[in-house]
Amino acid sequence: MPFSFTQTLRAALCLGYLGLIGSTPQDRKIAPAAQVTVRSGDTLTGIARRLNVSRQAILDLNNGLEASRLRIGQKIKIPSSTQESSKTAKDKFSLLPSKQSLPSLPSSEVSPQLVSINLLGVAPSNSDSDPSWTSTRRLFTKIKNATLDTVDLLWPVETRTISSAWGPRIRSATVKLSNGIKKRIRYQGSHQGIDLTALTGTNVYAAMDGTVERVGRDRKLGNYIVINHGNGFETIYGHHKRNLVQRGDEVVRGQKIAEVGRTGNATGPHLHFEFHAEGVPHNPLSYLNDQEEIPSELQARNAEIGRSTKKNNF
């Protein structure tokens, strides 16, 4: 009886493990354990995750392979995950001097805490009858054991032009004094995402696979979408001209979910993009993939989204 692909892959991985015995880190090289055929919608990152190997190991094994130019039917060699992890771990430890100690991580990374996002005004002025909107902190699902080293975000717009960076910044507001006079004040605020400049109507893409958790309209964010990616990870997209998904929809990485606009308090057309881990905002630039492009098959599908449907068009 012929073996299935899964059985063949498992046998190859076992053989790869046996090959480690009696060899030194210097002698070992990442050898192919199997070969896969690129299917419609495949990306290199997706293949690596599916087979539990690193994206870089696949690139190292396949000379000349371009992650952004995969073709349907293309053959790709897959390294043994056992070989790769064993070699990487031993090589890394051998580089550490015996008396060198590892630096401690900042406390904010060791024990992440939920932070208020009132400055962004994420809680919508016209909520969708969900009591969880009574607190902006409840917007984010707190899930333990999120691992930031596994995050790989797709750029949500193709322009990749940042008009406002993540982090502290000076804000301004008009306040009314006790004598009735209005005054413009400036204060130190915090930008918990990045703003990406793009023309009105530009496609907005899901940064990772996930489930649409919130879709609505907010006084500051305008038309917005929140996607839950599991493991405590969530992304937020705001100021859309229109939203093209609904709450509960399953979306895939690179799928068109909205169109760029200038709704809410936006002064010009752009996308506001945030990345949160366990409710804590992180700079998206640290996790965005600068090389990956959307597969041509998904681009064709995205071209049809929004033509015949106008979901959540505010």
Q: Is the pTM of this model over 0.85?
A: no
Q: Say how far apart CA 282 and CA 166 lie, in whole Å.
A: 8
pLDDT in tens, 150-198: 788 999 999 888 888 877 665 666 767 777 888 776 655 677 899 999 9
CATH code that applies to domain 109-165+192-304: 2.70.70.10
Highest mean pLDDT among 91-105, 124-138, 160-174, 227-241: 227-241
pLDDT of residue 121: 37
Name the residue ranges covered by the structural domains of the chain.
5-94, 109-165+192-304
pLDDT of residue 218: 92
In sequence order, what E strands does 177-305 have?
182-191, 194-197, 203-205, 210-218, 222-230, 233-243, 250-251, 256-260, 270-277, 280-282
Q: Is CATH 3.20.20.60 correct for 5-94?
A: no
In the predicted model, is pLDDT for residue 110 greater than 50? no
Residue 92 carries which side chain, given as an amino acid letter?
A: K
The answer to whether 72 and 38 are in contact (CB under 8 A) is yes
Per-residue pLDDT, averaged over 10-26, amounts to: 48
